[in-house]
């Protein structure tokens, strides 16, 4: 029995030495002394009792204990963090897994994907809340404009409807605040995010329609061509659709008044898609790229500088013969080129959208490519206008013509998602 006890003590002695030696790498030149310890005695107490440099060794052992405790606490914290991140990731993936999409640059098409209606398709809950807040702010701004109109016209009916809309917006703000609190507190109710988004979107759509109906009171006596379209937010659900398609064209001129201070890039003023080709005719300024004109997915860079918050008149002309194009800003030619989709006629039976870039026929919008700003007097001709004709348009001359393929009339377009119409008369309220 005595021999067995002695063997156990030696084993304990060897293990204590190996343990201390393994930890010595954290303390530079620290020296460790191994001592035989009886089996019933605390290892650390016996070491301190028998050592010569007792104070130094005591300090070392205390440092070891503190290090082990700190590492244990760190591991526990990391485990908790991993659990939290895993839970959040699962919630976010549940909200956006059905709507992936890559952005397009330099005129290249994106992969086709389904259309979301509440902001960027890959956004998480926090980004969705930010988008809702922006939308609410836009609605408030429109209500303020309506309040001013009501005061000027003493409209009892307008005031009554305005009060109702204000109440609805207040309710929406409470919903947004509740969702913010849920995010901060990690409540399980966030699992119903998709259902909540659907309810909020439905309410927003109703609000947009009611405000639009109220705004109609301002324009009953307005000429059909004296209006502008306003896209206040970079979303993938705010746009205008031209009611009729374009014919086959072997040449064209597209002109418009445009105002924006969006950065980076003003977005997509218009896009025309046909079956089998989403980029049949597109005007886009995306990211840090210059503005581009796309024809049958072929690209030409345009020398426009328009994101200064001022109104500018721009025109682009093109002919299929040799693919010759010209770009005009404020009545002056700023650039020209050739070999842009030569001998490719613009195809008919497509969909013309204002304010969004199409990745599928009539849809597949991407918020990062949406237009932000104002558009007016958008006209299309099936021929190349002369320099003089374009100058007349930019100076609002009485000789200015309207498009023979598409002319700017309120009855020719439909608006969606909160885009709005306001009275605009070119050259009288510029900048």
pLDDT tens readout for residues 186-226? 545 545 555 666 666 666 666 666 666 565 555 556 788 89
Bond preceding residue 264 cis, omega within 30 of 0: yes
Query: Is position 248 within any domain?
Result: yes
146 in a structural domain: no
Q: Classify residue 364: in a domain, yes or no.
A: yes
Flag whether 42 is in a domain.
no
Question: What is the average pLDDT value for the chain, to the nearest integer?
Answer: 74
Q: How far is CA 89 from the centre of its chain?
A: 20
Q: Give the pLDDT confidence of 106-134 residue by residue, as tens digits.
A: 444 443 333 333 333 344 556 666 666 66
Q: Is residue 289 part of a domain?
A: yes
Token pair 């849809």 is found at 363
Q: What pLDDT score was predicted for residue 147?
A: 59
Q: Is the separation of the CB atoms in 226 and 428 below 8 Å?
A: no
| Most distant CA atoms of the chain, gap in Å | 120
Examine the pLDDT at 103 and tell me if it is beyond 60: no
Cβ atoms of 127 and 368 within 8 Å: the answer is no
Distance, C-alpha 234 to centroid of its chain:
6
Range with the largest mean pLDDT of 4-13, 96-105, 139-148, 242-251: 242-251
Tokens of 306: 């328009």
Question: What is the structure's pLDDT at 429?
Answer: 56
Interstrand relation of 298-301 and 292-295 (parallel, antiparallel or unpaired): antiparallel
* Predicted local distance difference test score (pLDDT) of residue 368: 94
Range of the domain at 255: 227-423
| Window from 78-92, 385-399, 406-420 with minimum mean pLDDT | 78-92
pLDDT in the model for residue 119: 37
Q: Is 50 exceeded by the pLDDT of residue 369?
A: yes
Is 383 part of a structural domain of the chain?
yes
- Residue 253 belongs to a domain: yes
Distance, CA of 203 to CA of 210 (rounded, Å): 11
Angle (CA) 125-126-129 rounded to 5° is: 85
Residue 109: its pLDDT value, please? 42
Given this model, what pLDDT does residue 427 score?
81
Residue 329, domain CATH? 2.60.120.200
pLDDT at 184: 52
Query: Within its chain, how far is the Cα of 210 from the centroid?
Result: 26
Residues of the chain with pLDDT > 70, as a percent, come to 48
- Number of domains within the chain: 1
Q: Give yes or no for a contact between 351 and 272, defined as CB atoms under 8 angstroms apart.
A: yes
Note whether residue 352 is domain-resident: yes
Instruction: Check residues 300 and 220 and name the one with the higher pLDDT.
Output: 300
Contacts 24+ apart (CB under 8 A), 67-72: 67/23, 67/26
């Amino acid at each position: 029995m005595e021999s067995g006890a002695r063997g156990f003590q030696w084993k304990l002695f060897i293990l204590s030495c190996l343990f201390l030696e393994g930890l010595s790498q954290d303390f530079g030149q620290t020296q460790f002394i191994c001592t035989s310890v009886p089996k019933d005695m605390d290892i650390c107490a016996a070491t301190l009792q028998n050592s010569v440099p007792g104070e130094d060794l005591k300090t070392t052992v205390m440092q070891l204990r503190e290090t082990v405790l700190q590492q244990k606490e760190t591991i526990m914290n990391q485990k908790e963090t991993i659990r939290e991140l895993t839970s959040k990731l699962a919630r976010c993936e549940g909200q956006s897994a059905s709507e992936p999409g890559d952005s397009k640059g330099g005129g290249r098409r994106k992969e086709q994907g389904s259309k979301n209606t509440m902001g960027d398709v890959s956004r998480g809950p926090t980004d969705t809340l930010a988008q809702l807040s922006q939308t609410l702010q836009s609605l408030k701004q429109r209500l303020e404009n309506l309040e001013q109109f009501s005061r000027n016209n003493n409209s009892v009916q307008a005031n009554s409807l305005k009060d109702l809309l204000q109440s609805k917006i207040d309710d929406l703000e409470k919903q947004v605040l509740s969702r913010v609190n849920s995010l901060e507190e990690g409540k399980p109710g966030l699992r119903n995010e998709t259902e909540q988004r659907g309810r909020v979107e439905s309410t927003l759509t109703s609000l947009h329609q009611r405000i639009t109906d109220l705004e109609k009171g301002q324009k009953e006596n307005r000429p059909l061509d004296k209006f502008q379209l306003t896209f206040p937010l970079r979303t993938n659900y705010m746009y205008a659709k031209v009611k009729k398609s374009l014919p086959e064209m072997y040449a064209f001129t597209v002109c418009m008044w445009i105002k924006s201070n969006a950065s980076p890039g003003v977005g997509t003023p218009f896009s025309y898609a046909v079956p089998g080709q989403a980029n049949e005719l597109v005007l886009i300024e995306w990211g840090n790229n210059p503005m581009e004109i796309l024809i049958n997915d072929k690209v030409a860079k345009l020398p426009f500088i328009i994101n200064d918050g001022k109104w500018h008149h721009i025109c682009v002309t093109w002919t299929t013969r040799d693919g010759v194009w010209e770009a005009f800003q404020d009545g002056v030619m700023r650039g020209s080129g050739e070999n842009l989709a030569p001998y490719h006629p613009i195809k008919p039976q497509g969909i013309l959208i204002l304010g969004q870039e199409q990745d599928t026929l009539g849809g597949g919008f991407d918020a990062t490519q949406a237009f932000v700003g104002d558009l007016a007097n958008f006209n299309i001709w099936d021929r190349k206008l002369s320099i003089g004709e374009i100058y007349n348009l930019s100076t609002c001359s009485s000789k200015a013509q309207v498009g023979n393929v598409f002319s700017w009339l309120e009855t020719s377009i439909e608006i969606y998602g909160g885009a709005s119409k306001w009275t605009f008369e070119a050259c009288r309220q510029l900048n």
